[in-house]
């Protein structure tokens, strides 16, 4: 092993807003003190109950992906497991997410967070 994953960092226009959005989805603590990062208006973190840390970094010229447009690809995405897709969708939309692809009959749906990053809710 060469390294250990410390966190996943997402560029965005408003770090605090995106940290709050993912806290609504995953739970955890926003901007918990951690010796690895300093916190300010350009950087926010979310320590999730599973131990994963997401970080949000201000990018003033952020251009969100346009899923599934290959001219502005998704770059990466998160798959988030849920027991009930319909219930989870209501909560995601209420928290500020946007439905991108909700085709019925599949075990997953595609959304965008408030900064435009695609993510999937996947039935567990």
- Please give the backbone phi and psi of residue 62, each rounded to the nearest 5 degrees, phi first: -55, 130
Q: How far apart are CA 74 and CA 53, in angstroms?
A: 20
**What integer pLDDT is reported at residue 11 of this predicted model?**
92
* C-alpha triplet 40, 111, 52: angle, nearest 5°: 45
Enumerate domains of the chain plus CATH numbers. Answer: 8-58 (3.30.720.120), 78-123 (3.10.180.10)
* Per-residue pLDDT at 8: 92
Q: What is the DSSP letter of 44?
A: E
Q: Which pTM value belongs to this model?
A: 0.83
pLDDT (0 to 100) of residue 6: 85
In order along its 124 residues, the chain shows pLDDT tens digits of: 777 788 999 999 999 999 999 999 999 999 999 888 888 999 999 999 999 999 999 999 999 998 889 898 887 788 898 999 999 999 999 999 999 998 877 888 999 999 999 999 998 8
Please give the structure tokens belonging to residue 40. 């300010």
Closest CA to 21 of 117, 122, 124, 123: 117
């Amino acid at each position: 092993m060469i390294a250990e994953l410390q966190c996943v960092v997402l560029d965005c226009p408003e770090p605090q807003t995106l940290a709050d959005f993912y806290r609504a989805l995953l739970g955890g603590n926003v901007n918990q003190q951690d010796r690895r990062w300093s916190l300010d208006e350009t950087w926010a973190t979310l320590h999730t109950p599973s131990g994963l840390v997401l970080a949000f970094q201000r990018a003033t010229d952020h251009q969100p992906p346009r899923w599934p447009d290959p001219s502005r690809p998704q770059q990466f995405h998160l798959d988030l497991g849920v027991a009930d897709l319909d219930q989870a969708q209501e909560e995601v939309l209420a928290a500020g997410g946007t439905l991108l692809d909700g085709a019925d009959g599949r075990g997953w749906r595609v959304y965008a967070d408030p900064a435009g990053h695609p993510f999937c809710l996947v039935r567990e």
